[in-house]
Structure 1
Amino acid sequence: MPEYLEKETLILGCGNILLADDGFGFAVVQRLNELKETTPKLKSETVGIIDAGTGASHFILSLIDEESKVKKVIIADIIDYGLKPGELTRLYPDDLPKIPKYHIDAHDMPLAGMLNDIHNRYGIEVVVIGCQYKYMSAPDVCVELSEEVTAAVDKAAEMVLEELEK
């Protein structure tokens, strides 16, 4: 069994750092790793912080079963929910199918079904800390977040910490 399945809480940062605001999940994971030194809850052996990139989240989540110790999954990712750029929201399993998707490609494989499955089948709490993106550079490469999304990273990290307290 992979080590991360021994954790009670998994924090996954999803996205592609090469596609502008899609690097939001990575930035949140990076910030949480910085906070480990001053935040005992993040240092806990029961919490796993993972940069899941663009596809690893599917592999990570697909291995969860009745033998894993995972009780909660927190995902940081961009969303297209019609909010103001940089606006954050919490989404739960019942909210996920309602997220509008305008296209699906290898990068945009929807997680909603898998998140609902692990929630319903194994009773795992699932929350997505979603940030409305301003700019996705695909197919061009841009390794910078927009100002609005950059400004949301610290608040998103705080939201993750709040979820750890629940």
Structure 2
Amino acid sequence: MTSRTGATAASHPVLGVPPAAPADAVAYFGASLAFHADASDVAAALAAGGDPGFVLLDSRSTESWDQGHIPGAVHLPTALIAEQAPRLLDPAVPVVTYCWGPGCNGATRAALALALLGYRVKEMLGGFEYWAREGFPYETSEGAARRTADPLTAPVAAGDCGC
């Protein structure tokens, strides 16, 4: 197949493997959204006030929690989920997990542990790192904190990226 620039699909890695058929893409991306939420959407749901319809769960250690965590999150390290989740979480309420950031799969492990116990669960993409980098408020052992939004991760002048 030749593109309008004359390049063949096999001549570069982007289209070396052709895109999925539309129906397959719908299934894949729909499933992805069923498993993931992003920091901006979580922040908007929490900022709207009232019950957001989910529990936000920080699966990191106590030291990490003290270093910074999202206000209103439940602290439950992954290693303690099997023992403490039934006491702390309502199985009828979906759970959104987070850990440090994109280089950490702790939120994925926590989501798996919760799913194995029968909870409906999503993972917050970007974790605490992107929460802080996008300029959302967080709490530390010393009190409330907030950073200026990183212009590479969030719009500086607008409250919404439009995506």
- Range of TM-score over shorter length: 0.3 to 0.5
Q: What is the TM-score of this pair, normalised by structure 2?
A: 0.34
Give the number of the structure whose alpha-carbon radius of gyration is greater: 2
TM-score when scaled to structure 1?
0.33
> Larger % of strand: which?
1
